Amino acid sequence: MIGVNNKEHYYWSDIDKATDNLAQQILELYVKPLYICGIPRGGLIPAVLLSHKTGIPYQQISTANTSPEADLSHVLFVDDICDSGKTLEKIRKTYNKCRILTLLNKTSASDQPDIYWKTTECDWAVFPWEAHGALEEKDNTNIK
């Protein structure tokens, strides 16, 4: 991770460490989730990585096809960052019994994930799956 101008740039090696740590936290849960679901867009890649590392199946859940009364306590929703907390609030309002995991967590957010890798107070986090050009300036290991 490189911090520049209150931006944190994360690389694949950081994500590998984060998902190793989070996979261990998931596997140590007393009640393990039956499914992992990525919150589009930022949570999709971490969710798939966690599915592979834990052996827990990935399942995308559509709010259009799922009743708000559905008991989704067996589903672990994954996002890249809990920034303002608004996304987590929306997910919990829609599925009040779900659990949420994020890679990064801002303690100032209005809602908090159940599981997270680390806290941050940076203005912006840049992940390796985002705007490729943003990372090329900082990471010369990219192969074209």
Domain layout of the chain by residue ranges: 2-129
User: Exposed e or buried b for every residue in 11-22, given b needs 16+ CB within 10 A?
Assistant: beebbeebbeeb
Determine the CATH number of domain 2-129.
3.40.50.2020
Mean per-residue pLDDT for 79-107? Answer: 91
Helices 12-27 and 44-54: crossing angle in degrees, nearest 10, is 50
Predicted TM-score of the model (pTM) = 0.85
Enumerate residues 6+ apart whose C-beta is below 8 A from 120.
Answer: 8, 81, 104, 105, 106
Mean per-residue pLDDT for 49-73? Answer: 87
pLDDT at res. 2: 66
Mean per-residue pLDDT for 1-18? Answer: 86
Q: Where are the beta strands (DSSP E) in the chain?
A: 2-4, 7-9, 35-38, 75-82, 99-105, 115-119, 124-126
